[in-house]
Amino acid sequence: MTSTVWREAITVRAHRLGALAVAAGLAVAPLPAGARQGGDQPGDGRQAVTLRVALTQQVDSLNPFLSTFQAGTEVGRLMYDFLTAHDADDQRPVEGLADRWESSPDGLTWTFHVPEGKRWSDGRPITARDAAFTYDLMMRDEVAATANGSFTAGFESVTAVDDRTLVIRTRQPQASMPALDVPIVPEHVWSRVERIGDYRNDAAPVVGSGPFVLAEHRPNEFIRFTANRDYWRGAPRYDELVFVHYKTVDAAAQALARGEVDLVNRLGPAQFDSLRDEPGVTLNRAQGRRFTELVINSGAATRDGEPIGDGHPALRDIVVRRAIAQALDLDAIIARVSGGYAERGTGPVPPVFAEHHLTPDPPLRHDPAAANAELDRAGYRVRDGLRVTPEGRPLELRLLGHASRAYDEPAAEFVKRSLADVGIAVDVRIVSDNQLNESTTAGAFDLALSGWGVNPDPDFVLSLHTCDQRPNADGRGGTTDAFFCDPEYDALYARQRAELDPDARAAIVRRMQQRWYDQVPAVVLGYDNALEAYRSDRFASFPVQPDPGGVIMGQTGVWGYYGAVPTASAGAPAGVGAGWVLGAAGAVVAAAVAIWLVARRRGAEDRE
């Protein structure tokens, strides 16, 4: 492989022309008790402009080394940039904290260059030493590797040659190197943290490198950020960003309709359709980068193979897992539960990333009769309408779902009715996000509704199914999806990771997914469309990723929040005009007084 240097290409987009110069203040609905209206006033006589976003999922942690929930990783990206980013238009690797990088001819040494002028929110300079500290911490501290450890697992050494130059040596070529979706933290803050696992990182203001600074956090109530006026890409166009927690999607949709929040996603079909004719509301339907799955506890264990949890032992039998898959009519789930707003599921990589998406051969088709015949042959007899194992234990399974998602309860009931057709009883339990996460992490479940967001580079989502991602004896140190552990899959994972030819790598990635699909540690129920809505009477536009046709929230980056454009009547922060750029190069683009020119350019994976 020849040495390759990646540089950002700045493109000024005419269709992102922004609001005109400062106008009247934005009338905002009351925030939750304790959150200051407008926060710190701009000091120019106008009311602060606030973007209020509904959150229906709990934030598991503000510690970027620990957070795996979609909501937690999303707010974390606002505080901490990565070494590289992903372009908002086509999701290719572009400038993050490093503005350029190159690899050695053998692909084992990567050099990243961190330019001068980028600063932490407390004014200290961002250097290559901060990145070296972050990666080294993940390499030597198992807890620090919890959320994103797969990215550094193949590193041999990380060295900051000086403040501007970072050198990473890997044990073998690593295809994901231009897309290390790891939040870089400031060494001068985190070097004082004694126990990463106990550090909440919520004592505002949190020192970060991103476009927003944490100002206030009340768990399960709200999270308030203020705009980082010294952000290296240029300041956001508004003053505050507040995430407001709602227990249900219905409540969040109603809050948007009443004008209490400005942006909401994760809408169900009913909520999305109910907002279609709502005055001042604009809808966004996008091909999502997430998948929804039915996880099957096929044998929860630590990475040393020690069994944990209390999953039903029959689920270790591939015959039972295949029968579960064949009992499920995926097209019916999409029609009846997703309202048609989804695509049929196969492997973990959704069709938005076409080169890595799996078309299974052969597919597991909806066929309850075949499933019943296979269960009969394997000795699972029917007794009083319910199948029992050869040892006589009834096939009665617990199914966990999220209370925060409109999808889970009807999907769980659909699964329950479907599995009854093959003699399997299901006890549906809809619980909080944290309860579900604790139960699945401990292996204390039989079935669970879950899902992940997938990045343009598939390495992370593929790593979730490797043996090493299972937890250690203390229940920490890994992020597994279904406790899947298969030597053939692991061998393919190592091959794709080291394969630098894109076409050859894509073929291996599809083979991996076929192996996963055939072993049925989970059933991908579908790739839901992202259903979002925003108050277009308050915010004129939001960048989407990819563009066109992409999402506002749940991006592999922060463009949707960072590039939000208030309406002309809302005004814009003083000093955020000609100097504001939504671009990974961080260059300053001159603009006429009445026009904002926007140069747009991109995270860790995230779990439901």
Burial class (CB within 10 angstroms; exposed 0-12, middle 13-18, buried 19+) of 490 = middle
**Hey, what amino acid is at 125?**
P
H helices within 393-444, ranges in order? 408-420, 433-441
Residue 606 sits at the vertex; the CA angle it makes with 32 and 445, to the nearest 5 degrees, is: 95
pLDDT of residue 45: 61
pLDDT of residue 404: 85
Coil/strand/helix, residue 271 = helix
Question: pTM of this prediction?
Answer: 0.80
Q: Which residues are CB-contacts of 506 (< 8 A; sequence separation ≥ 6)? A: 355, 356
Q: Which residues are CB-contacts of 22 (< 8 A; sequence separation ≥ 6)? A: 44, 46, 571, 572, 574
**223 touches 214 (CB < 8 A):** yes
Parts of the chain with a pLDDT under 50: 1-40, 574-605
CA dist 458 and 97 (Å) reads 22
DSSP secondary structure string, 508-540?
HHHHHHHHHHHH-SEEEEEEEPEEEEEETTTEE
Pick the closest to residue 13 from 532, 554, 571, 565 (CA basis): 565
CA dist 133 and 152 (Å) reads 12
Question: String of b and e for 458-480 (b: at least 16 CB within 10 Å)?
Answer: bbbbbbbbbbebbbeeeeebbbb
Please report where in the chains the tokens 């009547």 appear, as a residue: 569
Chain CA centroid to CA 101, Å: 25
Dihedrals φ, ψ of 267, to 5°?
A: -70, 145
**Hey, what amino acid is at 333?**
I
CA dist 82 and 180 (Å) reads 7
pLDDT of residue 205: 93
Which tokens belong to 300?
């929860």
Pick the closest to residue 599 from 230, 237, 584, 553 (CA basis): 584
H/E run at residue 430: strand 425-431
pLDDT of residue 42: 61
pLDDT of residue 405: 86
Q: Which residues are CB-contacts of 76 (< 8 A; sequence separation ≥ 6)? A: 62, 64, 67, 183, 604
Per DSSP, the chain holds a count of helices (H) and strands (E) of 15, 26
pLDDT of residue 581: 31
Which tokens belong to 284?
């966004």
CA dist 429 and 448 (Å) reads 9
